[in-house]
Every structure is written in C-alpha cells, then in structure tokens.
C-alpha cells in the first residue's frame, strides 16, 4: 500500500510518499510544491491542484494523509491555509483517494513520540525511520511524517475498534420498556 502524505502550506506544500510492506514503511519519494506569493490566490490554488494531480498520477498512492489545519494567530493566514487545504482535498477527491486527516500533534506523536516535538526533531526522525542519508526539507519532512503516521496508526486503529458483542438481556427493572419486534 502506498501512502501519500501532504503538509498544506500557503507558500509551500510538502508531499511525501511511503510504501507499507507489512509492518515496514519504505521511502518512495518526497518534494515541495512552491507557490508564487505574488500571484493571485486562485492561480496558486490551480497550480497546486495540477501539481498534486501529477504526483498522484505518477506514484499511484492507495491512500492520502493530510495534516489538519491548526488555529492560526492571524485570521487571514488561517483563511488562506483553509483554501489551500480545500484545494488539496479536491485534488485528492478527484483522484478518488481515501483521505485520512491527522492533527499536527498526532503526527508528531507517531513519529517522534511526543506531540510537542519541534520541526528539527521531526526532520531527524523521518530521516532515521526511512533510512534517508539526510533530513528532507521541513515541508517535505512534515508530509512524510503524515504518511508515516497514517502507516503506523492504520493497523493500530483497526485493533482498537470495539468487538461486536451479543446484546445482553435488559435488566428486570427495564424489561417493561423493551419491545420485541416480530
């Protein structure tokens, strides 16, 4: 299974691809889509969608992991980031990919072991976990970390699902309220 991780950003959106082989994650590729800050927002979003379509068409991922938007200090920055994230989700939906959304804290916890890790720590652990000679750029490292998080938590999430249980009989004090359907 190939996992595409995406770290949406208003000026740079990172992507990273890992392949899950059993319990092992293997590095495939990473990169950063840089958006021209002087261009109008609709043009930047169109470029981002086109680049992500190219990445999906070339690498054929099975699932995508996207970092959830955090609350920004400036409302305008949060709004622009929301637009970028929307463009990412549209590109993934057009490719008919399942999307897993992870918070930054969940991603850091899955990769570093603590939700409060710094970017440098994430970069170093991504390089170590995937056997890379050097740490990728911040945006690409965050995207690879999202893919790793998806790969690590997918099987764990399946184990945490509650087992189906047989319904128990209602206590005698509630039996008057229980109706049997014919």
Catalytic residues: 7, 67, 139
Instruction: State the CB neighbour count (10 A cutoff) for residue 12.
Output: 15
Burial letters 150-167, b for 16+ CB under 10 A, else e: bbbbeeeeeeeeeeeeee
Distance, in Å, from the CA atom of 114 to the CA atom of 109, rounded to the nearest integer, reads 4
Other C-beta atoms within 10 Å of 3: how many? 25
CA separation, residue 176 to residues 154, 167, 181 (Å): 43, 17, 14
* 12-21/2-7 β-pairing: antiparallel
Instruction: Supply the DSSP string of 79-92, one letter for each residue.
Output: HHHHHHHHHHHHHH
């Amino acid at each position: 299974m190939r996992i595409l991780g995406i770290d949406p950003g208003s000026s740079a959106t990172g992507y990273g691809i890992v392949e899950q082989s059993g319990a092992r994650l293997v590095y495939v590729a990473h990169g950063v889509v840089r958006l021209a800050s002087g261009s109008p927002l609709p043009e930047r979003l169109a470029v981002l969608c086109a680049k992500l379509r190219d990445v999906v068409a070339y690498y054929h991922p099975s699932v995508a992991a996207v970092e959830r938007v955090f609350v920004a200090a400036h409302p305008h920055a949060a709004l622009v980031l929301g637009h970028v994230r929307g463009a990412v989700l549209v590109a993934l939906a057009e490719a008919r990919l399942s999307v897993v959304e992870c918070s930054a804290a969940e991603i850091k916890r899955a990769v570093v072991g603590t939700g409060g890790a710094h970017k440098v720590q994430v970069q170093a652990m991504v390089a170590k976990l995937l056997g890379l000679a050097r740490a990728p750029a911040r945006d690409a490292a965050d995207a690879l970390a999202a893919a790793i998080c998806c790969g690590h938590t997918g099987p764990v999430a399946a184990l945490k699902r509650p087992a189906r249980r047989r319904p128990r009989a209602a206590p005698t004090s509630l039996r008057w309220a229980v109706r049997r359907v014919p």
